[in-house]
């Protein structure tokens, strides 16, 4: 049964429609975890720490694609809800071209500046060399990575979430196979890790272009368009929350690395890298649900179907609550086997990573509400509120916690920072939903 954005969504239909997006995000995070596993096991602790050290900066650059994708898809979903399908297609084409062009410019600048930036962040010696080599190869594929990020949102708006999932699978399988080939078999080290990721991102960016450039059965397609400056500004403003979220997470990641270097040295950075790999698998379930459900909210907002908006919000809160409790249980249960998988070869590092897992798992109780809250206001084309929630969640609360709590509890304060920040963000998100319920008539 083909589910359309204009449908009435029961629990069953909402879950069915969002599952491909959830699976797409989870699979994306899993192949990142596999990437980290091969670096840790087959290359070594210092290269593993270097990859995790430079990764936040690389994610900041790629976040531009996520901003255009989420902000643009919300605008296009609203446009489709208003019945302007041809205009929606032209906007879609324009956003794809802008993403590709900006990716090329950002890639070139990043390759030139990666070394001084790595030095400025604090990398030195052997770690600096690994950061530069890995970063330059990844940056060469940045335009394709940005396109991959854009299409993750647009596939849902085009009513083809399943196709988006399978293209993510293709990219992920490519990465995992090449990881094993380049690192375990050929022993190319960090270069092999970077090449595997860059090639997989190229697959993830090119395959959707081939689909949308040809006649297809979706709501969207790439074709002739013109410059839509005002629409681009609206999309960037509306998607600024996702850009802010990615930038803030990366900045906070750098801050965590700095604090961990101070309190625990290189082992602390390596332990944090493991936690972030696994944390992203769990968080990606919430992100996937938010990405999958946002176009539905945006469509019904454009169609002024307030009763369906109320129903979607109520059902989403119930789903997120159930998943949050489940994920806490899984986090506690899987802490030991996951820590052992990555760093079981080092007893001290294993103990530090395991303790961090136990603390951070409690953040899963709260993170889903803030992630959905930000996405919900993006779908309503309220970029400022969405950006404020993301800014508070991913930067202000995290930075304040990681700077203050270690002064009281040492390294345990660093692990507790994630939990405290997510709790505060969840409270803020719920307060905004209550405060604006009459304005958008979903209360």
CA 124 vs CA 30, 46, 129, 296: distances in Å: 29, 11, 8, 48
Give yes or no for a contact between 428 and 436, defined as CB atoms under 8 angstroms apart.
no
Contacts of 399 (CB under 8 A, 6+ apart): 251, 252, 255
Give yes or no for a contact between 253 and 55, defined as CB atoms under 8 angstroms apart.
yes
83-138 pLDDT per residue, tens: 888 898 999 999 999 999 999 999 999 999 999 988 887 777 888 888 899 999 99
pTM to 2 decimal places: 0.72
Q: d(Cα 79, Cα 75) in Å, to the nearest integer?
A: 6
30-58 pLDDT per residue, tens: 766 777 778 877 877 778 778 877 877 88
Report residue 160: phi and psi, to 5°.
-130, 50
Q: What angle do CA 31, 33, 35 make, to 5 degrees?
A: 70
pLDDT band at 340 (very low <50, low <70, confident <90, very high): confident
Domain locations in the chain as residue ranges:
11-440
170-207 pLDDT per residue, tens: 888 898 899 889 988 888 988 998 999 899 999 999 99
CA 202 vs CA 86, 197, 270: distances in Å: 29, 9, 28
Does residue 442 surpass a pLDDT of 70? Answer: yes
pLDDT of residue 430: 93
270-312 pLDDT per residue, tens: 778 778 777 878 888 998 899 889 888 988 988 889 999 999 9
Give yes or no for a contact between 355 and 414, defined as CB atoms under 8 angstroms apart.
no
End-to-end CA distance of the chain: 31
């Amino acid at each position: 049964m083909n589910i359309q954005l204009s449908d009435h969504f029961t629990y069953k239909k909402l879950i069915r429609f969002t599952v491909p997006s959830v699976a797409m995000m989870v699979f994306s995070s899993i192949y990142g975890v596999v990437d980290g596993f091969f670096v840790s096991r087959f290359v070594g602790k210092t290269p593993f720490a270097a990859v995790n050290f430079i990764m936040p900066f690389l994610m900041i650059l790629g976040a531009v694609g996520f901003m255009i994708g989420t902000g643009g898809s919300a605008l296009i979903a609203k446009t489709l809800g208003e019945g302007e399908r041809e205009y929606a297609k032209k906007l879609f084409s324009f956003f794809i071209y802008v993403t590709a062009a900006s990716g090329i410019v950002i890639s070139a600048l990043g390759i030139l500046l990666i070394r001084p930036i790595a030095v400025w962040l604090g990398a030195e010696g052997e770690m600096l060399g690994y950061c530069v080599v890995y970063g330059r190869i990844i940056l060469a594929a940045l335009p394709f990575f940005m396109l991959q990020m854009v299409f993750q949102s647009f596939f849902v708006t085009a009513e083809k979430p399943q196709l988006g999932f399978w293209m993510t699978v293709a990219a992920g399988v490519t990465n995992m196979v090449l990881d094993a080939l380049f690192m375990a078999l050929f022993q190319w080290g960090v270069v092999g890790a970077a090449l595997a990721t860059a090639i997989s991102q190229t697959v993830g960016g090119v395959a959707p272009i081939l689909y949308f450039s040809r006649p297809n059965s979706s709501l969207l397609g790439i074709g002739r368009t013109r410059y839509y400056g005002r629409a681009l500004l609206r999309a960037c403003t509306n998607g600024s929350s996702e850009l802010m979220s990615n930038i803030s997470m990366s900045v906070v990641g750098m801050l965590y690395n700095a604090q961990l270097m101070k309190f625990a040295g290189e082992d602390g950075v390596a332990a944090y890298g493991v936690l972030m790999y696994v944390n992203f698998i769990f968080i990606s379930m919430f992100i996937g649900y938010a990405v999958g459900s946002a176009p539905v909210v945006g469509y019904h907002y454009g169609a002024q179907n307030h009763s369906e908006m109320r129903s979607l919000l109520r059902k989403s809160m119930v789903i997120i609550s159930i998943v949050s409790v489940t994920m806490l249980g899984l986090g506690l249960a899987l802490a030991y086997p996951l820590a052992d998988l990555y760093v079981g070869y080092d007893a001290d590092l294993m103990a530090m990573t395991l303790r961090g897992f136990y603390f951070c798992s409690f953040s899963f109780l709260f993170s889903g509400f803030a992630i959905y809250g930000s996405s919900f206001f993006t779908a309503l084309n309220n970029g400022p509120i969405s950006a404020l929630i993301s800014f508070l969640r991913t930067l202000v609360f995290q930075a304040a916690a990681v700077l203050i709590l270690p002064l009281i509890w040492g390294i345990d304060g660093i692990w507790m920072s994630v939990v405290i920040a997510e709790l505060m963000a969840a409270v803020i998100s719920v307060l905004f939903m209550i405060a604006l319920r009459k304005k958008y008539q979903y209360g």
